[in-house]
Amino acid sequence: MVLGFGVVSLAADMVYEGARSVYGPLLASLGASAVVVGLTTGAGEAVALLLRLVSGPLADRTRRYWTLTIFGYGLTAVCVPLLAVTPALGGAGLAVAAVLILAERLGKAVRSPAKSALLADAASRVGMGRGLGVHKALDQVGAFAGPLIVAAIIASSAGLLWPALAALAAPAVVAMLLLFAIRSRAQPSRAAAGGPAPQASPAAGRKSLPARFHWFAVAMALCTAGLVTFGLIGFHLVRAGVVATAAVPLMYAAAMAAGAVAALATGMSYDRAGPWMLVVLPAMIAGVPALVFGGGLPAPVAGILVWGAAVGVQDSTVKALVAELVPRDSRATAYGIFAAVQGAGALAGGAAAGLLYEQSVTSLVAAVALVQAVALLTLIGVLVRNKPSDAVT
């Protein structure tokens, strides 16, 4: 299950991470300002996170983990290639692109809690940190390959974006075929039940979740708010003349490679040293704006690598602690609530980053540093109160 979902994520990430690597330049080519780019990409992340508040409890109550996982991946597989038509739509192109970006993120919201519950159940048998770290590393291979493919196609098509977006239909089909193959090979008893916990009941997910879980969600939401979207980063790199449009997905690919390494390293460390290693996350995020919006090329490259590493930690090791803070049959609900709180942070952070960027980069850097200081203090408060015996399995 861990490796199977890792390979599915590899193919799927080639699709949506390949597209996300050029969201900034795509929206800019359709007439978007920095504020519109920040709002659109921030709202996309909010949709991907906030709506899990609905899809998570739905998965636990109905136990349709596989159904929701397949539907969510299918929505992404359809919406991303359709972005290829937006440059041909004239004045309507920007609105259609924004809708498709939000719909693609909706697919992420639908599938993530259900998939995470299936994956956490499998990972618990090999080490939660290790299992989620290996899955994320495979996931990041796709996130690395997708932008490289997009960059190569853009370079070979005189800077046009639509051929690269259209080409992403191929890995989308592969991802869906792989997903159905894994579903058919799942253990019959679990496949029939639709989920990882045969003892789950319709009341699953309605239990009160621990206070530590909610405070941890707040801490990670503050981290998400401070992590500027790559859409805004790509917008800045092109507008400031730091790199050409074709180089933006290469930068994104490098970030995804850094995320894979960070996921593996922190996942292994989590199993050995425990959740205290997560205190590095706010510090990493605080340093990103000063680097990516700095002068020259070396500083932005370093900032993008740190950005990618932070994303890798958020999507792997952070989820390991979530799984261990809540009851097993409430994991999808917990992941949904956790993501919803992060989504609020993403929406507020995306809008604020776009506005502050237009006014003053210095103000943006200072604001992110302040938010991460609060995030660090909140996280330390959670970890101080967390004991090994508190983990619920």
Q: Where residue 193 falls among pLDDT bands split at 50, 70, 90? A: very low
* Domain count within the chain: 1
pLDDT tens-place string over residues 10-56 = 999 899 888 887 888 888 888 888 778 878 887 887 788 778 888 88
Q: Is residue 154 part of a domain?
A: yes
Task: Report how far Cα 72 is from the mean position of its chain's Cα atoms.
Answer: 14
Which is more confidently placed, 342 or 280? 280
Q: Is residue 327 part of a domain?
A: yes
The CATH number of whichever domain residue 159 belongs to comes to 1.20.1250.20
Q: Where residue 83 falls among pLDDT bands split at 50, 70, 90? A: very high
Q: Tokens for 126, please give them.
A: 């090999």
Which is more confidently placed, 68 or 390? 68
Q: How far apart are CA 120 and CA 141, in angstroms?
A: 20
Q: Is residue 198 part of a domain?
A: no
Q: In the chain, at which residue ranges do the beta strands (DSSP E only) sit?
A: none
Q: Is residue 193 part of a domain?
A: no
- Whether 228 contacts 368, CB under 8 Å: yes
Q: Kindly report the average pLDDT of the chain as a whole number.
A: 82
291 has a pLDDT exceeding 80: yes
C-alpha dist (Å) from residue 295 to 236, 291, 302, 308? 11, 8, 12, 20
Angle at the Cα of 98 from the Cα atoms of 92 and 103, rounded to 5 degrees: 125
Domain that residue 62 falls in: 2-187+205-390
Q: Is residue 194 part of a domain?
A: no
Which is more confidently placed, 252 or 96? 96
Q: What is the mean pLDDT of residues 154-176?
A: 89
- Whether 254 contacts 261, CB under 8 Å: no
Q: How far apart are CA 47 and CA 106, in angstroms?
A: 6
Q: Is residue 192 part of a domain?
A: no
Q: Report the predicted TM-score, pTM, of the whole model to 2 decimal places.
A: 0.66
Q: Is residue 334 part of a domain?
A: yes
Q: Is residue 197 part of a domain?
A: no
